[in-house]
Amino acid sequence: MHPSSGRPWRFTPGQRRFLVLWYHVNSEGRFTWRSGVKRGSKGSGKDPFAAAIGDIELLGPVGFGWFGPDGRPVGARRNLALVQVASNSADQSKTLLRVANAMWSREARDYYGLDCGESRTVVKGSGSRFEVPTSAEASREGDPVTCGLLNESHHLTDSSGGSAVARVARRNVAKSPAHVQARLIEFTNAHRPGQDSVAERSFEAWQKQQAAGYPGARDILYDSIEAPPDTDIMTEVGRMRGLEAAYQDAPWADLPRLSAEMMDPRTSVADTIRFFLNGLAAAEDSWVDSTEFDKLAAGDRVVEDGTPVALFLDCSKSEDATALVGCTLDYHAFEVGVWERPKGRRGASWLAPRGEVDSAVRHAVERWRVLWLGIDPGPAKDDTAEALYWATMIDGLHRDLGGRLANWATPGAGGSSVLFDLRTSAQGGVRRNQEFTQAAELVRRWVDEEGLDGPFRWDGSPTLRRHVHNAKARPNPWGVSLGKATRDSLQVVDAATAMVGAVMGARLAGNSGRKAKSQRQPGKGRWGYA
């Protein structure tokens, strides 16, 4: 029954659709979806739906049994069901279990032999249970979970300990026997981009699966009902239009009240978009509006071999990512390669693979007609040792490509065909930072102000998208550039930096008029990393 009204429980059309997809099996009796995410606006019924799924997993015929005479799959009740719910706090998890317990009538409790408690509901005599883990995260490793529920996963982060809880939950369902096929579902509001929450990581994982050429299985079910991106929250008509879309599967929602909450001066624009419209709102200090940037994705465009392009390589030795991005002369940016430090212990001693990066640059030069190539050897914190890590590679590229590049990254006497050192301590670093900042401001204007009417497009790469979403506006003496949230943040932005550098190079090459191979034979020049 419904936990608040006491009337018989009825799934909404959207909830039924999710269940049909979630329990779909293939011809071998295996579930189509390995993992699931149900994202919705605040008050759209995520908690009752999660509670209902937990109750179904506890007692319902949710496991694959056999194929009937008509070829349709038949469900079977699990022999030893273990449903676990995890949240940012035990109290939050207990609240969801309390909702789940309220859905059982007295008659149902007696019929099934349910002993409903605050932190555990047990099916007497069967060993099946629906519980809130109360012990430390590490001690729950290995629980034979048949269904995992992660509630409010937008609150689960490294700092809260929620990321560790989510990792254990995923491992516990992953090790289940083939006949069980245990799985995990997240229930969440729209995450805050750049926070690196469990919800954000799941969204990015789903995005990667949807990318063209993804080599693995597309087995994450991501369900989200959102307001249209062009919702005008400043007018009553616009707000109601957006709310009607976001809450179309929640007929109980009080839309006029929600509209009033959206207009409350104490409610930020970002919170309005996230919690009421179920959209991914850019933070106030974001470099560009993430929604507007996403609109400019042109993933169907292929940059053909031989196309005139500019390339920018943003390097890091170990802390950040190393990213190579290209841009056509009509300002279509595309990812060529990104090398990121692995998470966890694998990343402790990781160093960027210089040989692989060098090969990628040389392959790109052979594939496209590269008119300009810029390489920033290290972070802006003037780390000479980090810049020296790339010195040999950059020397080799300068010697081998100098005669082929129509436009040098650092022209003039003592210049370099490829080095574009953004450290302010490097000779000419101040001028280069000024040029880069101007390019960052130009891209920002194209995205936030001109949008589809402007010239800028990008290839839809999930990694490039993530780095741009992570990027924060960083004022400097020459304007507004971009950077990480903090110097030590794990939310890297190097692909975004390389994208701006590639746009800058495309402008320089396009405006120079030198679009063929350079006929001059440049000298070795005098340039360094000190």
Q: Where are the domains of the chain?
A: 13-194, 294-512
Count the neighbouring beta carbons within 10 Å of the beta carbon of residue 236. Answer: 12
Q: Using DSSP bridges, classify how beta strands 114-116 and 120-123 pair: parallel, antiparallel or unpaired.
A: antiparallel
Positive or negative torsion for Cα 421, 422, 427, 428: positive
Instruction: Please state, in angstroms and as integers, the Cα–Cα distance from residue 529 to each residue in 122, 182, 280, 380, 416, following that order.
Output: 67, 54, 41, 13, 12
Whole-number pLDDT of residue 515: 62
What average pLDDT does the chain have?
90
* pLDDT tens per residue, range 76-107: 999 999 999 999 888 889 999 999 999 999 99
Count the neighbouring beta carbons within 10 Å of the beta carbon of residue 164. Answer: 14
Superfamily grouping for domain 13-194:
P-loop containing nucleotide triphosphate hydrolases (3.40.50.300)
DSSP state of 313: E
Kindly tell me the number of DSSP H helices and DSSP E strands found in the chain.
16, 17
Whole-number pLDDT of residue 425: 83
Task: Tokens for 390, please give them.
Answer: 């790339």
Whole-number pLDDT of residue 214: 85
Task: Tokens for 66, please give them.
Answer: 């056999």
What's the CA gap between 126 and 79, in Å, rounded? 8
What's the CA gap between 231 and 237, in Å, rounded? 10
Q: Are 484 and 467 in contact (CB under 8 A)?
A: no
CA-nearest of 428, 441, 419 to 374 is 419
Whole-number pLDDT of residue 380: 47
Note the Cα 55 to chain centre separation in Å: 31
Whole-number pLDDT of residue 135: 53
Which residues lie below 8 Å from residue 478, measured CB to CB, with a gap of 6+? Answer: 433, 434, 437, 438
- What letters, b where the CB count within 10 A reaches 16 and e where it falls short, cover 187-209? bbbbbbbbbbbbbbbbbbebbbe
Task: Tokens for 240, please give them.
Answer: 């109601």
Whole-number pLDDT of residue 527: 38
Alpha helices in 23-126 (DSSP H): 46-59, 90-102, 106-112
Question: pLDDT tens string for the chain (530 positions)?
Answer: 787 777 889 999 999 999 999 999 999 999 999 999 999 999 999 999 999 999 999 999 999 999 999 999 999 999 999 999 999 888 889 999 999 999 999 999 999 999 999 999 999 999 999 999 865 444 466 789 999 999 999 999 888 889 999 999 999 999 999 999 999 999 999 998 778 899 999 998 998 898 877 889 999 999 999 999 888 999 999 999 999 999 999 999 999 999 999 999 999 888 899 999 999 876 668 899 888 999 999 988 999 999 999 999 999 998 889 999 999 999 999 999 999 988 777 777 889 999 999 999 999 999 999 999 999 997 644 455 667 899 999 999 999 999 899 899 998 877 899 999 998 888 888 999 999 999 999 999 999 999 999 999 999 999 999 999 999 999 988 999 999 887 777 789 999 999 999 999 999 999 987 765 543 344 333 334 33
Count the neighbouring beta carbons within 10 Å of the beta carbon of residue 167. Answer: 14
What's the CA gap between 118 and 399, in Å, rounded? 71
CATH 1.10.10.10, domain 294-512, yes or no = no
Alpha helices in 4-158 (DSSP H): 13-22, 46-59, 90-102, 106-112
